Amino acid sequence: MIVASPSNLYADLDVQAELDAPLAAQTWFGVGGRADLLIRPNTIDALATLVRRCRRDEVPLRVLGSGANLLVDDDGIDGVVVKLDAPFFRTVDFNAEGRLERMRVYGGASMEQLVHESARRGLRGLEAMSGIPASLGGAVRMNAGGKFGAIGDVVDAVALIGLDGELRVYTNDELRFAYRETNLPQGIVVWASLRMLPDDPIACRTRVKEIFAYKKSTQPMSANSAGCMFRNPMVAGARESAGKLIDLAGLKGARVGGAVVSPEHANFLAIDRVGGGRAEDVRALVEQIKERVLVHSGVQLQTEVVFWRRGSTEGLHV
Ligand SMILES: Cc1cc2nc3c(=O)[nH]c(=O)nc-3n(C[C@H](O)[C@H](O)[C@H](O)COP(=O)(O)OP(=O)(O)OC[C@H]3O[C@@H](n4cnc5c(N)ncnc54)[C@H](O)[C@@H]3O)c2cc1C
- 127-147 pLDDT, tens digit each: 999 999 999 999 999 999 999
Average pLDDT of the chain to the nearest whole number: 95
Q: Confidence class of residue 272 from pLDDT cuts 50, 70 and 90?
A: confident
Q: Confidence class of residue 284 from pLDDT cuts 50, 70 and 90?
A: very high
Question: What per-residue confidence (pLDDT) applies to 314?
Answer: 81
Q: Atom 14 of ligand 1 has which residue's CA nearest to it?
A: 227
Question: What per-residue confidence (pLDDT) applies to 177?
Answer: 98
**173 and 250 inside one domain:** no
- pLDDT tens per residue across span 204-257: 999 999 999 999 999 999 999 999 999 999 999 999 999 999 999 999 999 999
Domain that holds residue 174: 90-218
Domain count, the chain: 3
Is the residue at 50 inside a domain?
A: yes
**Rounded mean pLDDT, 42-63:** 96
**192 and 100 inside one domain:** yes
**206 and 96 inside one domain:** yes
Question: What per-residue confidence (pLDDT) applies to 275?
Answer: 66
**103 and 213 inside one domain:** yes
Question: What per-residue confidence (pLDDT) applies to 99?
Answer: 82
**55 and 111 inside one domain:** no
Percent of the chain exceeding pLDDT 90 equals 90
Is 204 in the active site? Answer: no
Query: Which CATH number fits the domain that encloses residue 107?
Result: 3.30.465.10
Question: Is residue 1 over pLDDT 80?
Answer: no
Beta bridge partners, 106, equal 191
Is the residue at 317 inside a domain?
A: no
- In ligand 1, the atom with minimum distance to the C-alpha of 68 is 26
**57 and 96 inside one domain:** no
How far away, in angstroms, is 144 Cα from ligand 1 center?
A: 7
* Dist CA 142 CA 137 (whole Å): 9
Is the residue at 316 inside a domain?
A: no
Query: Which CATH number fits the domain that encloses residue 50?
Result: 3.30.43.10
**197 and 108 inside one domain:** yes
How far away, in angstroms, is 226 Cα from ligand 1 center?
A: 8
Is the residue at 314 inside a domain?
A: no
Question: What per-residue confidence (pLDDT) applies to 59?
Answer: 95
pTM value surpassing 0.85: yes
Which of 70, 87, 104 is the last residue before a domain boundary? 87
**249 and 272 inside one domain:** yes
Which of 87, 112, 146 is the last residue before a domain boundary? 87
Which of 36, 68, 87 is the last residue before a domain boundary? 87
Q: Atom 2 of ligand 1 has which residue's CA nearest to it?
A: 227
Is 101 in the active site? Answer: no
Q: Which listed residue (40, 124, 180, 292) is catalytic?
A: 180
Q: Confidence class of residue 7 from pLDDT cuts 50, 70 and 90?
A: confident
How far away, in angstroms, is 142 Cα from ligand 1 center?
A: 6
Question: Is residue 270 over pLDDT 80?
Answer: yes
**47 and 132 inside one domain:** no
Question: What per-residue confidence (pLDDT) applies to 5?
Answer: 60
**238 and 214 inside one domain:** no
**94 and 200 inside one domain:** yes
Is the residue at 252 inside a domain?
A: yes
Q: Which listed residue (102, 204, 228, 309) is catalytic?
A: 228
